Amino acid sequence: MSGHQTDRPLLQVSNLCVEFRTRDGIARVLDEVSLELQPGQTLGIVGESGCGKSMTALSIMRLIPSPPGQITAGEVRLAGEDLLRFDEQRMRDIRGKDISMIFQEPMTSLNPVFTVGDQIAESLRLHEGLSDKEAAARAVKMLKAVGIPEPQARAREYPHQLSGGMRQRVMIAIALACGPKVIIADEPTTALDVTVQAQIFDLLRDLKERTSTAIILITHDMGAIAEMTDRVTVMYAGRVVEEGPVEAILDAPKHPYTQGLIACVPQLDPNPTAERPPLEEIPGVVPALTRLGKGCAFAPRCKYAFERCDQEAPRRVSVDADHRAACWLLEEGTSA
């Protein structure tokens, strides 16, 4: 994928900081988060629960609940233009049109009092200026495109009449309706059962091949990361700790946290009779975001931590042409 390096990124997030006012003080939920998405590419974001994956997605859409949240620094450039400088009106034109989002909870993410057809048609009326009738007809086509049988009849049904998998297909149809440049899928399968998960991933993969939409895929599913993504960004406590091509991240992770994360994934054993090593886990828990020290956030849980890790936060350094990690071990030249 290094061929993409020279292109101008479609979406470029740089040094994005988001803070939340909480009872315990200011929580820096995102700390200088940077990521890049090339046209047609799929970027995976992984990390433990609470590390800021959803916040990153919502910040790109400028949908952080505010108050208490606030974007305090950084840039979000879409095709070169900084979305953070747009007024609300221009930002609305971007949402659902250039960037759309698929949420984790298909059960609650659709409005219960409108038909699914209406909910797809609404985007089309807003962004494409279609009439009610044209939008309704296109909505049926969209339902068909995401593999919903009898789309004509389904379009007239309400969310509660559909199964979870169907609803997530509807969410995908809404996201796709206006032919966005970027789709952000925030754990699109977490709430679904396993067979349906596979179907949804198949649909996303199929969509990726047919259209040239770039995708940001947030997931805990390392299998999906391996199958679907080109590049991976690893986050910890609101920071990007490592990012690089998917093969490099999965096969040769540089940051101790990424190494731990990948070691946590159970492998399908090719030789079941052999003695299998116990499943690893990363000791400790994610620190409270209001009480992050000045050092590396992962240091308290890191088995390689040394003095410097507690005193100073490591910068991201290149380990390869397009593979970066933020760890003092790399700068000291003693790769873990």
Ligand X SMILES: Nc1ncnc2c1ncn2[C@@H]1O[C@H](COP(=O)(O)OP(=O)(O)OP(=O)(O)O)[C@@H](O)[C@H]1O
| β-sheet bridge partners, residue 242 | 234, 325
Q: How far is the CB of 55 from other proteins (least distance, A)?
A: 13
Burial 247-272 (b: 16+ CB within 10 A, else e): ebbbeebbbbbbbbbbeeeeeeeeee
Q: 44 is in the binding site of which of Mg ion, ligand X, other proteins, none (Cβ under 5 to 8 A by kind)? A: none
Under the binding rule (CB under 8 A), the answer on residue 312 touching other proteins is: no
Residue span 154-173 as binding mask against other proteins, x where in contact by CB under 8 A, dash where not? ---xx-xx---------x--
Rank residues 73 and 252 by Cβ distance to ligand X and give the closer one: 73
Identify the sign of the CA torsion 314, 37, 47, 55.
positive
Residue span 260-279 as binding mask against other proteins, x where in contact by CB under 8 A, dash where not? --------------------
| β-sheet bridge partners, residue 218 | 45, 186
Q: Return the residue of 101, 139, 196, 248 that touches other proteins, per CB under 8 A.
A: 101
Under the binding rule (CB under 8 A), the answer on residue 56 touching other proteins is: no
Return phi, psi of residue 30, to 5°. Answer: -125, 130
Q: 255 is in the binding site of which of Mg ion, other proteins, ligand X, none (Cβ under 5 to 8 A by kind)? A: none
Rank residues 49 and 89 by Cβ distance to ligand X and give the closer one: 49
Helices (H), 194-314: 194-210, 222-228, 246-251, 256-263, 307-311
| β-sheet bridge partners, residue 244 | 232
Output helix, strand, coil percentages for the chain, rounded to the nearest 5.
35, 25, 40
Q: How many residues form the binding site for Mg ion (CB under 5 A)?
A: 1
Q: How far is the CB of 43 from Mg ion (least distance, A)?
A: 16
| β-sheet bridge partners, residue 42 | 215
Alpha carbons 134 and 274: distance in angstroms, whole number: 61
Q: 127 is in the binding site of which of ligand X, Mg ion, other proteins, none (Cβ under 5 to 8 A by kind)? A: other proteins
Q: How far is the CB of 126 from other proteins (least distance, A)?
A: 6
| Token digits of residue 83 | 């979305």
Q: Return the residue of 23, 49, 80, 112 that touches other proteins, per CB under 8 A.
A: 112
Residue span 28-57 as binding mask against Mg ion, x where in contact by CB under 5 A, dash where not? --------------------------x---
Alpha carbons 256 and 151: distance in angstroms, whole number: 48
Q: In the complex, which residues of this chain contact other proteins (CB under 8 A)?
A: 61, 63, 88, 92-97, 100-101, 103, 105, 108-115, 122-123, 126-127, 157-158, 160-161, 171, 174
Q: In the complex, which residues of this chain contact Mg ion (CB under 5 A)?
A: 54
